[in-house]
Chains A and B, each alone.
Chain A
Amino acid sequence: MLIRKSDPNAIPSSEITPRSVYMNRRTFMAAGALGAAALAADRFLLAMAPEPVQADTKLATVPSPLSAKGLTPTSFYDITHYNNFYEFGPNKDDPARYAGRLKTRPWTVEVDGLVKKKKVFDIDALLKLRPLEDRVYRFRCVEAWSMVIPWVGYSLSELIKQCEPLSSAKYVQFTSVDRPGQEPGISEVNLDWPYTEGLRMDEAMHPLTMLTLGLYGQLLPNQDGAPVRVVVPWKYGFKSAKSIVKVKFVKDQPGTTWNEMASYTYGFYSNVNPNVDHTEWSQKTQRVIGAPFWKQLEPTLMFNGYGDQVASLYKGMDLNKYF
């Protein structure tokens, strides 16, 4: 597959925003109410900031039976302008501003640790490894907000199988890219870089767990974890490592960034669970991103609504203890 990185004639991602969102923005810009000028100035500054460059990145995809039905995806604009991606800064709009600095080509993902076949996958090889599927998943951030995201990719198990992990491999650790020169948040935010995440082997092999290369039918925008990330829809968003460069199979439960930062509130499992609160806020409810204010609040679903598929992974476990 030929991917042009910074074709000056390319359509920027902002042009692909759904029409309804665009129309909304226009009416909102036109609104003459007091203060609109201030907000317009804000938009202007946002437009001035370096926006991630997206080349013509339409992907050939197939539908997936694992796609959640009857859900309306969050707008492309919100999915790409409301992000937690601390490598680019702690604020929600930092990734949209600064993620364009990350060079996502060339890119390789190294598979290491307890496997028969240690491999280095080029990003183009990953794009061709399996047919790319459209999968609409619920997304739940630990901060009690939620989205519906049409991801593109395939089950992570497809990659794992190719590497033939040894029977001693009980966990998988993911490492995100660590380039302070391209990721301004790394020097600004006091976390133990590089960002690492981990899953138990059976979680990583679960068909719902995705190796994700795109969303809305195109290559991943940088602020959403380009060029390749993991998506685990029944866990809080931070478990889904972004911009990964390494996948390592290990015997013992690996260290993970947020767990090491504050293990009392960010558990290793971090399954979406309305009955276990974060220390700073309740997890019983969540706010739907993009919904009008009177429809934002909704109850949190156990395992983010994926209980039928994943509850058996945790049979016999005390989820209040292993949160």
Chain B
Amino acid sequence: MSNRVVIVLKALVHIACLAPIAWLIFHLIENTLGPDPTHAAAFFTGRGTLRLLVITLAITPVRKLVPKLGWIIRFRRMMGLYAFFYACLHLLTYVWLYSGFSLAAMIDDISQRKFITAGLAAWFLMLPLALTSTAWSIRKLGGKNWNRLHRLVYVAAISGVIHYWWGVKQGVRTPLTITVALCIVLAARPVLAWAKRQSAAEVPAERSI
């Protein structure tokens, strides 16, 4: 893939990730987000975080499955950082709109409510990943350590989905789609590794014939 095409595609990804935020802010100011704008903003940013996380996590298995698409690795950091950006906005809706910046209210919530705890845990797990997203960090940590650290993204995504399920009422199944999507991109890793081992094992077997 030529550099020029990648640059154009990156510009399009920036627009695709930022336009929904512009849309959200516009409708928040106009108060046209429906009966409960606080909930709408929290839902919009939370759902966006999980979608972006799943897209980020889909990049590696897609590359392995379709070697021709190897170049999409150049979008992984960007998608991960946008996932964190959405997570920050989501946290802001909680700190500002739900808690009115009241520290006492937040401490109360975090200690008593598991769905808040799970959400906050997911955000804290993403924080070191965002901070070590630079090329300098990779060099400093060494590729092996950096990779190990960034496996936290699996835990963050799972916490995020648990937070979603705990946050909706009993009987509401809206988190199902994203849960299935996350399961697929996570399960693809061991499945692809297993398939690779199988084919690697088959090659010498064929030779010996």
Knowing A24-B32, A282-B105, A289-B36, say if A90 contacts B23 (CB, 8 Å). Answer: no
| Count, A-B residue pairs, CB within 8 A | 82
Q: Contact flags (1/0) for B62-96 with A, using CB distance below 8 Å?
A: 00000000000000000000000000000000000
Task: Report whether A35 and B20 are in contact in the complex, using a CB–CB cutoff of 8 Å.
Answer: yes
Residues of B with C-beta under 8 A to A31: 26-27, 30, 32
A91 at the interface (CB under 8 A from B): yes
Q: 1/0 per position for B100-116, CB-CB distance to A under 8 A?
A: 10000100110011010
Cα–Cα, bound, A33→B39 (Å):
21
Question: Are the CB atoms of B97 and A297 closer together than 8 Å?
Answer: yes
29 A–B contacts from the bound complex (CB under 8 Å):
A27-B30, A31-B26, A31-B27, A31-B32, A33-B26, A33-B27, A34-B20, A35-B19, A35-B23, A78-B35, A81-B35, A82-B34, A82-B35, A90-B170, A90-B171, A91-B172, A190-B170, A190-B171, A280-B113, A280-B115, A282-B109, A285-B100, A289-B36, A290-B35, A293-B28, A293-B33, A296-B36, A296-B37, A297-B97
In A80-101, the 8 Å CB interface with B consists of: 81-82, 86, 90-92
Cβ < 8 Å to B, chain A residues 277-305: 277, 279-282, 284-285, 287, 289-293, 296-297
Interface SS majority for chain A:
loop
Closest chain B residue, CB of each to CB of A289: B35
Beta-carbon contacts under 8 Å, A7-63 to B: 24-25, 27-28, 31, 33-36
Q: Pick the 4 closest A-B CB pairs, nearest first.
A: A35-B23, A82-B35, A28-B32, A90-B171
B38 part of interface (Cβ distance < 8 Å): yes
Question: In the complex, A289 Cα to B169 Cα: how many Å?
Answer: 19
- Cβ B35 vs Cβ A281 within 8 A: no
Shortest B19–chain A CB gap in Å is 4
User: A36 to B36, Cβ gap below 8 A?
Assistant: no
B31-A293 in contact (CB<8A) = yes
Cβ of B154 within 8 Å of any chain A Cβ, yes or no, is: no
Interface of A toward B, CB cutoff 8 Å: 24-25, 27-28, 31, 33-36, 78, 81-82, 86, 90-92, 145, 188-190, 277, 279-282, 284-285, 287, 289-293, 296-297
> A188 CA to B172 CA in the complex, in Å?
10
B23 CB contacts on chain A under 8 angstroms: 33-36
Q: Among A81, A91, A297, point to the contact of B98 (Cβ < 8 A).
A: A297
Chain B contact residues, CB within 8 Å of chain A: 19-20, 22-23, 26-39, 41, 97-98, 100, 105, 108-109, 112-113, 115, 169-172
Given contact pairs A25-B32, A33-B23, A289-B35, enumerate 20 new A-B contacts (beta carbons under 8 Å): A27-B30, A31-B30, A33-B26, A34-B20, A36-B23, A82-B34, A82-B36, A90-B169, A90-B172, A92-B35, A188-B171, A281-B109, A282-B108, A285-B105, A287-B36, A287-B38, A292-B28, A292-B29, A296-B37, A297-B98
